[in-house]
Structure formats: structure tokens, C-alpha cells
Amino acid sequence: MTRRLFCRLVPAVVAAQETVIRVDVRLVRILATVKNTAGEPVGALAREDFEVFDNGVRQELAVFERYTEQPLSVAVLIDTSASTAIEVRYEVDSVERFLKALVGEGNPQDAAALYSFNYQVTMEAGFTRRLERFERTLKGLKSQGGTSVYDAIYLAARNLEGRDGRRVMVLVTDGGDTTSAKSFHQALEAAQMADAVMYPILVMPITNEPGRNIGGENALSGLASGTGGRVFFPSAGPALDGAFAEILRELRTQYLLAYYPKNVPASKERFHRLEVQVRRPDLRVLARNGYYEDSEAARGWAPAR
């Protein structure tokens, strides 16, 4: 948020002219997951173990929370296009178990919303903790039509904006976009504007090269890395449950970092590139790669007390 203070100049100097003094009160937040070489989350780091760079300029952390208890708002997006007819029941069952674990553990303010998408996007349930709403809706999902991945992400991101605490999207699909009005870049920008971490799950990918949708896989990977999440490539059944369990595990071991931007050179670009590093070379960080100046991340967010 930028507060404007207006100071009227003496008319004899410049008539009816205004000087605008900008006071920068933004607080940019980052959700980070740290892993060791075995891929296991590491949750015992301290503030001094992290370094954050905004457009290449090192920043001083104003907020640091280990195992943050900020409430979760999780939007679950399920692909119900015609190509998912075989595995949709596996998807539905795993999503139901994931939602039960989400609202049954952790912060009592955690909530989820449910979307289905084929050639169109439907918000099946708004943010709630009532499991019966999800169970009833999930049982009625049917597969048909094309795949509007980017439209689903765009709509979910818009609905996530303004939610307190952490914002997450879990996207369950079997392939690339075919029918969206929105583009990949519009979907990614919407997710970054909403300050949302994205976890795409590509169910039962075709392993032989001629039949694989490499473009769709690369798009999902780009969406994940751009928002600080990661993409999963499970088969159906237990492997799909395992992907959801890994997501929950990461959400329970996230770090919350926040800073007031200082000494960042002026630029015409709205997008700021972020880089989060840890001092230990045996660890790697998953965090979003940037934010937009007019996003929620730069409009005076403050952590809950």
C-alpha cells in the first residue's frame, strides 16, 4: 500500500501545483519450503539462515515464522474433461481424503473451496470446513468436454485474493489445456497476484514419448515453480494419495518470510523478481519467483497476531 501526502506549494512559486510525497509501507511476504538432498522438508532453520533478494537487492526480514500457523485457504481444482473418465473416481476419492485431513488437522481456521473444470469452470463449493458439502458434490462429478486449466486457475486465484493467511491451489488434471479463454501467462499472473502457491498433480501421465503432452507437462511445471510449489506425476490409487500426503506435509512445514522493500531501483516493470537462498549448500528452497507491485503481497499485508 502506498500512502500519499499532498503538500500545496505557495501560489507565487507555482500556481495550483501539487507535490506528492510517497511513503512506502508495503510488506512483501514469501512462503518457503526447504528440503534436504533426500527431498525431505527441513523445518528447524532460523531467520539468519535465509537471504532474500528483490530484483537482485538483498532485503532485511521483518517477519520470520517457522512452522507458520497462518490459516490455510486451499482451492482444489479437479479436471472433469472427457479424457479423465477412467481415473476420475480415483481422483474424487483421493481429494475427499485430502480434504478430510486438511480440515481435521492443523489450524481450526483452515478452509477449502472446490472447483471442477472441463470446457467450463464451476465453483462447486465456496470456502468452508463442512466436509458434507464436499462429499455430496464430489460424488456427482461427471467427465465431459475439453480442458480449461488456465480458466480454472484464473477464477480460483481471483476468489483467493483477500483471504487471510496462506493461499494454496491444488490442481488435479491428466493433461494440458485445450479450451481456455485465458492464457498460461494470464493464469500465472493471477496466481502470483493472489499470492498463491500452486501444486499441480498430473494424474497417470503417458510415459511413451509419442503420446505424451510435453507442452502441458512443462506448463504445469512452470506454474508450480513460478508460485513456489511443485508438480507431481503420480499414477492413480496409492500414488495419488501419496502426492496429497506430500502436499499436506509441506504445508505443515512452511516458513513465512516477509520484508519491507528497501533500496530497490526504480523500474517500469510491475513484476519484481524474488530469490530466496539458504546458507547451507545441502539444502534447496521452494519459493515463488516474484510478485507484482499492485498485488496483495504489496498492499500492506500484516501477519495475524
* pLDDT score of 68: 85
Pairwise pLDDT comparison (116 vs 83), residue with the higher score: 116
Cell output for 133: 458439502
Q: What is the pLDDT of residue 225?
A: 94
Domain map (residue ranges) of the chain: 28-67+261-298, 72-251
What's the pLDDT at 297? 54
Which residue is listed with cell 463442512?
130
- Among 117, 128, 127, 99, CA closest to 154: 117
Identify the CATH assignment for 72-251 out of 1.20.1250.20, 1.10.10.10, 3.40.50.11540, 3.40.50.410. 3.40.50.410
pLDDT surpasses 60 at 210 = no
pLDDT in tens, 2-50: 444 433 433 443 333 433 333 345 899 999 999 999 999 998 999 999 9
- Secondary structure of the chain in the HEC alphabet? CEEEEEEECCCCCCCCCEEEEEEECCCEEEEEEEECCCCCECCCCCHHHEEEEECCEEECEEEEECCCCCCEEEEEEEECCHHHCCCHHHHHHHHHHHHHHHHHCCCCCCEEEEEEECCCEEEEEEEECCHHHHHHHHHCCCCCCCCCHHHHHHHHHHHHCCCCCEEEEEEEECCCCCCCCCCHHHHHHHHHHCCEEEEEEECCCCCCHHHCCHHHHHHHHHHHHHHCCCCECCCCCHHHHHHHHHHHHHHCCCEEEEECCCCCCCCCCCEEEEEEEECCCCCEEECECEEECCCHHHCCCCCCC
Mean pLDDT, the chain, whole residue set = 85
Cα separation, 70 vs 246, in Å, equals: 19
Least confident of 39-53, 55-69, 76-90: 76-90
The confidence score (pLDDT) of residue 206 equals 53
What pLDDT score does 305 carry? 37
